[in-house]
Amino acid sequence: MSKFLATWFYVGYLKPAPGTWGSAAAIPFAWVLHGLGGITLLVVATFVVFFTGWWATAAMTKGAKDHDPSEIVVDEVIGMWIALWPLSAGLSHAGVDPWVFPYPGWIVAFLAFRLFDISKPGPVGYFDRKSTPFGVMFDDAVAGAMAAVCVAVAAYVSHGMMGL
């Protein structure tokens, strides 16, 4: 069960770039969660999967030399979901049909999250250097939060400043 969750239904075994595959696989799940329960369900699911992913990561890496093997992608799922929070919140707030999940928002979230996850600036790198299951999960949560800021700024520029 831990391998199934930590690899996000074995998506983590896809090559090349399993982290990118895991990030991409997170988007349809976020869309379904948003459709079923809006931002509230997406946030609750994020926390539930964060803590179960932490457990799964600990189980998969126990006794291993590599504390963050590339096939573990549940952390990318968490980061992507956090990056998508502003999109989900904005759609929920605007009263948009819950099954609408417009592509500019999730593309910005995906690109920003991958940028921060790969480049590991500041606090992302700090938590990435922790050789613990919590560090594996939390560096992506921080990268997701940084990407969420980018999504919110992009939405403001697009919808607020430009009035689109």
**Reduced 3-state DSSP string for the chain:** CHHHHHCCCCHHHCCCCHHHHHHHHHHHHHHHHHHHHHHHHHHHHHHHHHHHHHHHHHHHHCCCCCCCCCCCCHHHHHHHHHHHHHHHHHHHHHCCCCCCCCHHHHHHHHHHHHHHHHHCCHHHHHHHCCCCHHHHHHHHHHHHHHHHHHHHHHHHHHHHHCCC
Please give the chain's pLDDT, 164 residues, in tens.
Answer: 999 999 999 999 999 999 999 999 999 999 999 999 999 999 999 999 999 999 999 999 999 888 899 999 999 999 999 999 999 999 999 999 989 888 899 999 999 999 999 999 999 999 999 989 999 999 999 999 999 999 999 999 988 766 55
